[in-house]
Amino acid sequence: MKQFARSPKDIGQAIRQARKGKNLTQKDLAVKSGVWQETISKVETGVASTRVETLFALLAALDLELAVLPRSRGSQADLEDIF
């Protein structure tokens, strides 16, 4: 239920997953975030890159935030149950 991201595509997938987890449509999220449904579609599918402003607008609307972490660390599985 936590996502690691090393590319815009990863972020898109994380957003989609979080959105669906909250049972929101792209339109719902568009209303909450002020970002267009069309833009959300493009971000989630990774067809277009985004600006970080847009990214944070979506994350905020989904009650998410980012953590900046070193790439080299224990296996992800170890952390699964912490969050």
Which chain residues interact with DNA by CB under 7 A?
20, 25-27, 34-39, 41-45, 47-51, 53-54
**Residue 71 beta carbon to DNA: minimum distance, rounded to whole angstroms:** 21
What is the rounded distance in angstroms from the CA atom of residue 17 to the CA atom of residue 20?
5
> Among residues 15, 66, 18, 57, which one has the least CA distance to residue 36?
57
Query: Closer CB to DNA, residue 10 or residue 80?
Result: 10
Which amino acid makes up residue 36? W
Distance CA 45, CA 59 (A): 16
Q: Which residues bind a second copy (CB under 8 A)?
A: 1-8, 10-11, 14-15, 18, 49-53, 55-56, 59-60, 63-73, 79, 82-83
